[in-house]
């Protein structure tokens, strides 16, 4: 599963897997407890594939940050917890993404990145590169 189907819903903890679309929104399943929720289009929803992290030069897609964490941790979970001290979280992100913009990336953002990575890892979602899926979609459109 790619990050195109993983959602963050404002006001709700954790991440959600997009199941189906309805007239007034969509149905998603929590990765935390497996419960299904109906979400309207009025809710503030972010698709993980659309999120980027500010650096001094550009915005780096979240999937690239996840890939760098995966490389650093040799495919395992992070060596820090999202509950660790602010300075420890900042040091960790600096190791992963040395040129991140410290003025625009807050400790709460770093907590989310670490928490989301570990949650995805627990559910076996460790392939963050969506280029294969994009190629499949493009070949289906050409047929």
User: The domain spanning residue 110 has which CATH number?
Assistant: 1.10.10.1650
Same domain for 41 and 24, yes or no, is yes
In a domain, 141, yes or no: no
Per-residue pLDDT, 50: 94
Per-residue pLDDT, 130: 57
Q: Are 38 and 31 in contact (CB under 8 A)?
A: no
Q: Are 68 and 96 in contact (CB under 8 A)?
A: yes
The pTM of this model reads 0.85
Q: How many CB atoms lie within 10 A of CB 20?
A: 8
Between CA 85 and CA 115 the distance in angstroms is 14
In a domain, 138, yes or no: no
Q: Are 10 and 45 in contact (CB under 8 A)?
A: yes
Q: How many domains does the chain have?
A: 2
Per-residue pLDDT, 82: 92
**Tens digits of pLDDT across the chain (143 residues):** 788 999 999 989 999 999 999 988 999 999 999 999 999 988 899 999 999 999 999 999 999 999 999 999 998 999 999 999 999 999 999 999 999 999 999 999 999 999 999 999 999 988 886 554 444 444 444 44
What tokens does 104 get?
């625009």
Same domain for 41 and 27, yes or no, is yes
Q: Which residues contact 74 (CB under 8 A, 6 or more apart)?
A: none
Residue with the two structure tokens 């709700």: 12
């Amino acid at each position: 599963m790619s990050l195109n189907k993983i959602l963050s819903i404002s006001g709700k903890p954790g991440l959600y897997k997009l199941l189906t679309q309805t007239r007034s929104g969509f149905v998603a399943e929590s990765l935390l407890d497996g419960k299904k929720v109906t979400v309207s289009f009025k809710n503030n929803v972010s698709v993980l594939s659309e999120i980027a992290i500010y650096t001094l030069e550009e915005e780096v897609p979240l999937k690239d940050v996840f890939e760098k964490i995966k490389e650093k941790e040799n495919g395992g979970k992070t060596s820090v917890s999202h509950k660790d001290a602010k300075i420890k979280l900042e040091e960790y992100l600096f190791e992963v993404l040395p040129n991140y913009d410290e003025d625009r990336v807050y400790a709460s953002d770093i907590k989310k990145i670490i928490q989301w990575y570990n949650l995805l890892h627990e559910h076996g979602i460790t392939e963050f590169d969506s280029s294969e899926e994009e190629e499949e979609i493009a070949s289906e459109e050409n047929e």
